[in-house]
Structure 1
């Protein structure tokens, strides 16, 4: 009763605030609902994809795992990047020849397998995935493809939480103290620029040269506009190396050597 008595005098103010901000409240509500639905659909997609790949591929064969992913995607919704983006990613990896790779957004493990199969024997992949279920299933797929835990590490957290901890994972091995040679961003495009700035702040981008690959799944130019405008404004040490509708490669180079971007499409 006392709560009702206290609330009655506040009703006019509550009604006014609700009326004034109801559009924003409804917008936030719909955004939250959409996020939950995307998460649920994503989990269903990851579970079904994992089950198909696990049962149909040849275990221990990375190429078989990728082919089974692609086979599944021909008739079912899939979160994997697919062969078109995958082949473009392969071209960058073969040119850069990285030994230390960071992947933000693991999804089904498809791109993790593509990356690992092209790394040198001493190469290492650190992949970050926000959803625990997706991270667990993706890790299992990597193991099914024939890779060992000594070659990769899965971090289950947001990219913003994971990035400040990465230096401690690299420092024990002096060969990796320079940072990452290649970074693949395939998570939330709104996090691309904040995460790039944090990677730079934490000195996690190899100063002698690091390729940062941005995946644009929806193929909308506006999704990458903010980070690309930022890169163009810092042409002294970073530039757009390759630009496709579905993928952009940024070349980051802090040392005195000239940044070359002659492969831009």
Structure 2
């Protein structure tokens, strides 16, 4: 009762604040709810997909793992890019023939497996996943596919935290000092441009040529506008190689200053 008595004099101020900021408050509430739902659905989806693949695939057989993922995705919501985008990804990997690949967004490990199976024996994948549960499940799927830790590394952190660490992870070995040859971005689309700029700043894109693949998951057009504007403003080193409804490939090459 005393709380009610105290709140009565404040009602006019509460009504005024609400009427002035109700749109912003409602928008913030909707964004928070959407973020929470995405996180919950993502975890549930990854756990369910992992359990299905783990139980039904032939362990150690890459094609069996991918086919089991595709089978699961026919009847369940999934974060896998699927065979259609996967085939485009395969074509790019075969054309680029990368030695060092960077992936943002491990998810259930599907894309990681597709990438690893086409890399040469000396090739290596670094894949970044923000959620620890998802990262662990994705790593298990990669191992179940028959790959070893010497061929890949899963970083459990944000892309912004991962990028400054990549120089030390790539190491001083021959062929790694020039950065990565292929980047797959399948994480938060709002991070695509900041992460691309960070990779440039850290000189992690191979100057002789690096393909950057941006996965489109029903995002709004404005989510890619910043990336497109940046590319169009840097025609000296960027070009659009492939542009599909579900995927965009941009090519980076830094002109020699010698």
With the length of structure 1 as denominator, give the TM-score of the two structures.
0.90
Deviation at 1:56, TM superposition (A): 0.6
2:143 maps to 143
Q: Structure 2: where are the runs of 5+ without partners?
A: 1-6
Secondary structure at the aligned position of 2:150 is classed as helix
Deviation at 1:14, TM superposition (A): 5.9
1: distance between equivalents of 2:158 and 2:104?
A: 9
The total of aligned residue pairs comes to 255
1: distance between equivalents of 2:56 and 2:90?
A: 24
2:235 maps to 235
- When residues 18 and 137 of structure 1 are mapped into structure 2, their CA distance, relative to the original with a 3 A threshold, is same
1:31 maps to 31
Task: Note the 1:125-144 alignment, pairs <5 A.
Answer: 125-144=125-144
Secondary structure at the aligned position of 1:239 is classed as strand
1: distance between equivalents of 2:37 and 2:245?
A: 27
2:4 maps to none
2: distance between equivalents of 1:195 and 1:24?
A: 28
2:188 maps to 188
Deviation at 1:222, TM superposition (A): 4.0
2:49 maps to 49
2:202 maps to 202
Deviation at 1:204, TM superposition (A): 0.6
2: distance between equivalents of 1:25 and 1:158?
A: 27
CA contact (8 A) 1:180 1:204 kept: yes
Deviation at 1:247, TM superposition (A): 0.7
Deviation at 1:25, TM superposition (A): 1.4
Q: Say what the alpha-carbon RMSD is for the aligned residues.
A: 2.2
1: distance between equivalents of 2:49 and 2:171?
A: 35
2: distance between equivalents of 1:38 and 1:247?
A: 21
- Give every structure 1 segment of 4 or more consecutive aligned residues whose post-TM-superposition deviation is greater than 6 Å: 7-12
2: distance between equivalents of 1:172 and 1:252?
A: 22
1: distance between equivalents of 2:156 and 2:15?
A: 42
CA contact (8 A) 1:219 1:246 kept: no
Deviation at 1:225, TM superposition (A): 2.4
1:175 maps to 175
2:3 maps to none
1:103 maps to 103
Secondary structure at the aligned position of 2:240 is classed as strand
26-35 vs 217-226, greater mean Cα deviation: 217-226
2:123 maps to 123
